[in-house]
Amino acid sequence: MSILIKNGLVVTQNWKREVLKGDVLVDGGKIAAVGHVKSRPDEVVDASGCIVIPGLINCHTHVAMTLMRSVADDVGLEGFLEKTFAIDSKRIPEDIEVGAALGCLEMARSGTTTFLDLYYSEDAIAKSAEEGGLRAYLGWAVLDEELTTQKGKPIKNCEAFVKAYKGKPLVKPVVAPQGVYVCGRETLAQAKELAAREGTFCHYHLSETRYEVYEHQRKTGKRPVEYLADIGFLSKGDVAAHGVWLTMSEVRQLANAGVAVAHCPTSNMKLASGGVAPLPEMFAEGVTVGLGTDGCSSNNGLDMFLEMKFCSLLHKSHRWDASVLNAQKCLDLATIDGAKCLGAEKQLGSIEVGKKADLVVIDCNTPAMTPTTPENAVANLIYAGPSHSVRDTMVEGRFVISNWKATTVDEKKLLRKAQDAAAALMSKAR
């Protein structure tokens, strides 16, 4: 089926970063033409007064934790972990599936088309992602057997998930060793070997807090990145979440190994983890960086537009430099650079012929997006917070949000179900 998105302001994110007034032709789930298109498509979507952008890419989240939204606010990391772990230990696959469905809907409504997740029971999350129509990179959490609440061995659970979901059109299985604080050397080696054998990558938390770094240094004599480099764990194509407490030596080790970083500014600020991820130094050393929201218990939302804004403002304030992390670079982090983090830059992250048709249409006929021009379109996307103006979201040529309406799920029914599931979960955790 061919669809022509007509008369929009197209923020292409191509190598020239062109912003064009024109059309995008979608055919067979891919972008067939960009510009002034003369075609007789099966469907025409009028994008007059709208911005068309590539679908946003969330490089680190725990999507099923939407049911745990606002359960641990205004406390430090230790209090946060105590509260969330107590609730998390009571979860069952059914409420994980509902939480993931709610998260996918929230992301679709705010322009995210692809996400990288780290959790357990990823088979339940995969079901919700497929039904919701989002593109999902799903990392099954791997950790030392004596530290897990999973039934069975985490590495075996992950292996079964990877084998079951290889080759799915919208789901890519990933190996997710949770972090050095719960993964011994043998677990890390098993995770790396599994990822290599199955043709996927590892996703893990890394140097999120000062306590994590210094505690690991006390136990092993090395900082986390130094330790992972020394044991040969760091691998090209892996994605490390957070990377807040890094030295320049560690930044270079990540760059040399080809490990990307998912920056989660909102979560890091809300938990008062201290420190700011050294993004300018990462860029200078060639580390690929994407953006992530983290989960709804440490962020409260999955809005990538807000993540881009907070990213820019955090680094400007921290560096005393208003030119640091400008609007264009922040949009890069959430689109083409996010695609690079996932090894998918040839398929995702920009509006170019031959790429997958993951697209978002933003209605600029709203007070917060007026005026919008070709000259200020990118700045408005970052600083005006336009997630409320997302009119259409398309994944691989299929609208999951069309003219403000969810097309893949019964939204009212899902919201009621999520409300009930959250209430039941909280009652079990009391």
CA distance 265 to 257: 24
* 77 pLDDT more than 90: no
| Alpha carbon distance, N-terminus to C-terminus of the chain | 51
Decide: residue 103, CB within 10 A, 0-12 exposed, 13-18 middle, 19+ buried.
Answer: buried
Q: Reply yes or no: is the peptide bond before residue 367 cis, omega within 30 of 0.
A: no
In tens, the pLDDT along 165-222 reads 999 999 999 999 999 999 999 999 999 999 999 999 999 999 999 999 999 999 999 9
Q: What angle do CA 302, 294, 337 make, to 5 degrees?
A: 85
Rounded to an integer, the average pLDDT of 255-279 is: 95
Rounded to an integer, the average pLDDT of 23-44 is: 96
pLDDT at residue 89, as a whole number = 83
Query: In Å, how far are 11, 271, 401 from 35, measured between CA atoms?
Result: 11, 44, 23
CA distance 222 to 253: 13
**Percent of the chain scored above 70 by pLDDT?**
100
Q: Is the pTM of this model over 0.85?
A: yes
pLDDT at residue 103, as a whole number = 98
Residues 294, 340: contact at Cβ < 8 Å?
no
pLDDT at residue 90, as a whole number = 86
Task: Give the fold, CATH level 3, of 56-341.
Answer: TIM Barrel (3.20.20)
Domain ranges (residues) in the chain: 2-54+355-406, 56-341
Query: In Å, how far are 26, 172, 247, 353 from 335, measured between CA atoms?
Result: 19, 18, 27, 16
pLDDT at residue 339, as a whole number = 98
Residues 231, 216: contact at Cβ < 8 Å?
no
Task: Give the fold, CATH level 3, of 2-54+355-406.
Answer: Urease, subunit C; domain 1 (2.30.40)
Residues 336, 290: contact at Cβ < 8 Å?
no
Q: What angle do CA 265, 76, 138 make, to 5 degrees?
A: 50
- The two tokens of residue 121 are 């029971």
Helix ranges (DSSP H) in 236-387: 248-257, 265-270, 279-285, 304-319, 327-334, 336-341, 377-383
Residue 409 CB contacts under 8 Å (≥ 6 apart), including other chains: 101, 105, 131, 132
pLDDT at residue 88, as a whole number = 84
Q: What angle do CA 294, 296, 298 make, to 5 degrees?
A: 65
In tens, the pLDDT along 290-343 reads 999 999 989 999 999 999 999 999 999 999 999 999 999 999 999 999 999 999
pLDDT at residue 150, as a whole number = 85
